[in-house]
Chain A
Amino acid sequence: MTAESSAPARGGRVNIAFTKDATDAARRLIERFTFTAASKQGEPDLDLVDAARIGTAFALREGLPLTRPDDFGPANGSNFGVGSVDPGGELRDLLQALHPDMDEDPYRIVETLMSVGVLAIDERLANSEIHSLRTLIFPEI
């Protein structure tokens, strides 16, 4: 297994997308973590692609299932090319390193994880379990 390949494996996805609900959640996440004045005026510090990556990472950390749940719904929210979500394939490589036994297209998995991850974060933002980048990165025990 190499870490270098950037070509999609096994006829993999070229575009991936949030579900509608996840798109809303991602927007809320972006709004919540704004820092600069420019960000407050409509040029966000974090964009939806950042949100996608954070959601994916969060889902992996929380051990959420890689397989798409039955009630997932259509991924017809905001969509992105895999090249912008995962330039250089870093995320895919990490995913494979963490889960060497997965048998799905890694980007389909990313598409699943980014939505469930972002929705999970959204819930914790709502009940203030997460209230800062610090508490997102270092969950309180």
Chain B
Amino acid sequence: MRLHVLEVTDFGPYRGTQSFSFAPEPGVELLWGENGRGKTSLLNALRWVLFGVVLGRGSSRIDLSTVGNRDNEDSGTVRPFKAVLTFSHAGHFYKLTRAYRDESGSPGGNDFRTRPILVKDGNVLGPDERERELATMLPEQIARFFLFDAELLQEYEQLLAPGTDAGEKLKASIERLLGLPVLTQARDDVAAHLNSARTAQAKAAQKDQATRALGNDLQIAADTAASTRINVDVLTEQVEGLQNDVNELEKTLTSNSRYKTLLGERNILCEEVRRRTRLTNDLADELAGAAGGTWRAVLSMVVTRELQLIEAQTDAAGQRLRDAVAARSRAAAVSSGVCPTCQQSVDSVAAQELGGHTDTEVDPDDVQADLAQLRGRRDVLRRLRDDGERIARLEDDLTQARVDLSDAEGQLRALQVELDGAPPGTAENIAALLDELGGKRISLDNTRQRLQKTREDLRRENQAVEKLSEKLARLGTASTGSEDRKVQMLVALHGLLVAAVTEFRDRLRDSVEAEASKVFRMLSAEQDYDRLRINDQYGLTILHANGAEVLNRSSGYEHVVALSLIAALQRCSPMSGPIITDSPFGRLDGTHKRHVLQALPQITDQVLLLVHDEELDRQGAIDELGAHLVGEHHLRKVSARHTAIESGAHL
């Protein structure tokens, strides 16, 4: 399959009618566009024109009524849109048109429907033929291996854990891609015909007296087996349906789990804000109580200084007092001739000496009075209670608490804005979804068990039918001749198909493993990694040269392994198609990007990479691709809701 031109009209950000022309030569094309410009929309336009489906995050479907290009955010208006794709396949030329428009016939009507039209080699195909052609060329379940974005690669990583429901579905897709359903369905259809043949055999046997009883038994046994087979089919469908439901719920929850996390964070933050508010208020109250003592704290410096002064003055006064008392004693000794202290007489020589002192008349009583005043002042000043340090510390704590509270409140506000961005009812939704998921999982388990048991029953019943049928054939009467022959042939054919399914599955896995290993070696830069091994779920393990499993792979290698698988599937599949991918390089380093660019042209002959220049260095890509680079395009922003597709790289 090779794409020629994609024309879109009012699809997503593409206003008016715009064309994207694929290069006619085999090779790689690059479409440059920043994130949010419309790369994913272009991919969606392709998906839509081919399958009528538009996908959003987590591969969930987008409501078509929101897709048409519009001027304002008026979600009430439904706008029409259209896409036309021309392509070639198996020697034929096709033009596929899908239009979404109002069919009510009245202006401003609201009966929007999708109309697909497929023209093959100039002839318009009828609806049945159209569906058959499209199903043969590129069925939806395997399209994901041709038109994919980085999300698919992440989805693939989940497969590496065996037994997941997502794994079952992807495995079925892979087997479908590789052609296995032709075989499994042939096996099942032949089995169904075998059953009918046995019933016919029984009926024929009933005509003959000799074989009537046996014939009746065979018919009953075949009927029982037939109805059990129907049960198996019904249960299988139910299991599939439940698996789908579980997958969809898990996907929705995953995209919602972000909100669940946000809600959890918000509750924690609310509690934190409450706690900090309490703390702040308590500190404020305490500080308010203590603040009344501020004036004393202000005074305390000068009081301390004054106390020191008073101390010095007291010492000085004490000295003065001692001097005054001594002077008085001396005076008394001089005038009375007797020392007042020791009562000894003072002779004239001593008296002369004492008298020679020039004493200023200091009255000790005055000094005592001074001392008393100093002591009084000192006592008053000492009584001052100083809580300055405590007040200042409380204030510091309160300020810090306020800052912490404000931070928490800010975080809470920011969180609330994010939560408000969620669709209404999201919080309630999550609880309901979790309930539903739990219930579905239980149903799935129960149904699986019933299916297993029913399959067992079917096996036993089929065996009974076989035995009866063989017995009948051994008796070999004329009336059952042709039925016997048919049964015998179908038994052999069925056995062949059963064996072939196993054989084919094994071969497929071997092929895919070999191809994936080849591609992996081209992409990988690790000398240690030798090849890939595939498991039942198409999960891949990296092996060393000696066959040992690589246990802790370098990060980003999931990406490389996933790309290897996709490339291998492309190469092993009877279907061939273009690879169109959005952000293929997200988690790869420079070396691996180069390898991917080298490998892509050899995996398929039409590749379109939707990239932006943060992700891929243009000059490097040009150098790497060389002659394989056959086209460049870019998306130009005309306005917030209008993107233009233009050729050439945007410089």
Contact = CB atoms under 8 A, between A and B. Distances in A.
A adjacent to B, CB under 8 Å: yes
Contact of A3 (B285, B288, B292, B376): B376
Given A1-B376, A46-B292, A93-B380, A61 B302 contact: yes
A5 to B, nearest CB: 12
A136 B287 contact: no
Interface in A72-121: 91, 93-94, 96-98, 100
Interface residues of A, number: 32
Kindly state the interface size class of chain B when it binds its partner: 20 to 34
Nearest to A117: B298
Interface stretch (A9-17, A18-26, A29-37): A29-37
Contact of A100 (B287, B295, B377, B392): B377
A94 B299 contact: yes
Contacts of B373: 1, 100
Interface string B297-312: 1110111001000000
Nearest to B290: A133
Interface string B16-53: 00000000000000000000000000000000000000
A63 to B, nearest CB: 8
Interface in B265-295: 281, 283-285, 287-288, 291-292, 294-295
Contacts of A136: 294, 298
B445 interface: no
Given A3-B379, A61-B302, A35 B294 contact: no
Nearest to A62: B302
B388 interface: yes
A50 B295 contact: yes
A128 to B, nearest CB: 15
Contact of A137 (B298, B377, B383): B298
A132 B397 CA distance: 12
Nearest to B277: A37
A25 B398 CA distance: 25
B284 A35 contact: yes
A97 B377 contact: yes
A137 B284 contact: no
Contacts of A3: 376, 379-380, 383
Contact of B302 (A39, A98, A134): A98
A58 B300 CA distance: 10
Given A33-B291, A35-B288, A46-B292, A57 B298 contact: yes
Interface in A35-72: 35-37, 39, 45-46, 50, 53-54, 56-58, 60-61, 63
A63 B299 CA distance: 11
A58 B303 contact: no
Interface secondary structure of B, over-half rule: helix
A18 to B, nearest CB: 15
A35 B282 CA distance: 10
A94 B380 contact: yes
Contacts of A138: 388, 392
Contacts of B378: 97
B522 interface: no
B384 interface: yes
B292 A36 contact: no
Contacts of B288: 35-36, 39, 45
A128 B288 CA distance: 22
B397 to A, nearest CB: 11
Contacts of A45: 287-288, 291
B381 A137 contact: no
B291 A53 contact: no
B296 interface: yes
B380 to A, nearest CB: 4
Interface string B380-400: 110110001001100110110
Given A35-B287, A138-B388, A133 B294 contact: yes
By CB atoms of chain A within 10 A, which of B295, B376, B378, B381 has the most?
B295
Interface of B: 281, 283-285, 287-288, 291-292, 294-299, 301-303, 306, 373, 376-381, 383-384, 388, 391-392, 395-396, 398-399
Interface of A: 1-3, 33, 35-37, 39, 45-46, 50, 53-54, 56-58, 60-61, 63, 91, 93-94, 96-98, 100, 132-134, 136-138
| Pairs of residues from A and B, 9 with the lowest C-beta to C-beta distance, nearest first | A53-B295, A45-B288, A134-B392, A57-B298, A97-B380, A57-B299, A35-B284, A97-B377, A57-B295
